[in-house]
Structures are given as C-alpha cells and as structure tokens.
Amino acid sequence: MSRATRFAAGLLVWALAALMVAPVFAQINFPNFPSSAGLNLVGSTQVTGGVLRLTENRANQQGAAWFATKQVLTQGFSTTFRFRMHGASPEDGLGIGMGFHIQNVSPTLNVGERGGAGTLTVNLSTFYTLPSGNFPNVVSVWVNDNVVVETQPFALTININDQAEHTLRIDYAG
C-alpha cells in the first residue's frame, strides 16, 4: 500500500471515529405544551391548557422555563417562538416584560427579564405609563446583567402588550 493510500485510509478512519463520538444535540421543538416534559419549570411558571405560562397577570410574579438537556451553542442557533403578553391594567401600573436567556449557571435559575451573572439575554419590556396610557416597547440585549444594546421605545403603532400573539426570531452566531 502506498504512503498516499495509507494516509487516505487513516484520514477516513479518523473521520469516521469523529463522527461516531460527535455529540448529538436535541432538536428543541415545542409546537404546544401538552405537559412540561423536557423542561425545568421555575418560580411561577406552569403549563396549562397547552400553553407555557411564565407568570400570571398580577404583581410580584417571576418565572422561567429551561430546556432540561444542556446544549452546546458554539455553532450558534436560530429560534422562532410565539408569545402573548396580557398587559398591565391602569389600576396597578405594572410593567410587563420577558427575557429569552442563554445561561450556563443552573437548570433552576430564576432570573429576571434582563438576566444576571452568567447570562446573555434578549429582553422585551413594556411599561404602563400613567396618565397617558401608552405602553412604550423596548428591546434590549444584556450580557452578565449589563445592557449592551437597547432600542428607543417603538412607535406607538407597535404594541407587544396588546394580548395578541406575536412572533420573535432570534439568531445567535455562537
């Protein structure tokens, strides 16, 4: 066997070995939520009526849902999901918000909208402002609890706090 043939055969063996030991990552796909299987629910979070509900529409609520299998994100990912915010009322003046977090801290971490140490967060916030009744919407990106990018409030024609279903797509390059 020639040197080139031996080299090619050896390279093929290494390539096959690499394929056999390459980690297989879960395809995260939740078209609905018949149960909480595969998720770690934290805080106020519950699955009810086929919906993942992070919090109820009342004061002092905080919740999170983490995929139960740790993922390696060095190659990046894309995700698209639908969400609905059920707005604050003029009586309580509460802010409404949510964060999409990437974290390597704990499968039971209960972080706020902007994350915390060890997290990268895309935050959606809307706040009820009296007396105008406007709901300014702000999108921000946080790393380790520090804001990196923040939009100015969207024009009043865009309202993510309107109880309607909205779609969010996030692309992460790794």
Convert the pLDDT of each residue in 50-102 to its tens digit. Answer: 998 888 877 777 888 888 888 888 888 888 988 888 766 555 556 577 888 88
Q: What is the predicted pLDDT for the residue at 15? A: 38
For residue 10, being part of any structural domain is answered with no
Is 70 part of any domain? yes
11 within some domain: no
- CA 94 distance to own-chain centroid: 22
Q: What is the CATH number of the domain that holds 103?
A: 2.60.120.200
- The model's confidence at residue 119, banded by pLDDT at 50, 70 and 90, is confident
Instruction: Please indicate, yes or no, if residue 1 is contained in any of the structural domains.
Output: no
The pLDDT confidence band at residue 35, using thresholds 50, 70 and 90, is very high
Q: How many domains does the chain have?
A: 1
The answer on pLDDT for 26 being more than 70 is no
Query: Does residue 86 form part of some domain?
Result: yes
Task: State the pLDDT at residue 92.
Answer: 58
Residue 124: per-residue pLDDT: 81
What pLDDT is attached to residue 36? Answer: 92
* 16 located within any domain: no
Identify whether 50 is part of a domain.
Answer: yes
Of 17, 4, 159, 165, residue with least CA distance to 82: 165
Cα torsion angle, 156, 160, 165, 166, sign: positive
* Domain-located, residue 78: yes
**38: phi > 0 → left, psi -120 to 50 → alpha, else beta; which?**
left
Domain of residue 49 covers 29-172
- What is the structure's pLDDT at 11? 35
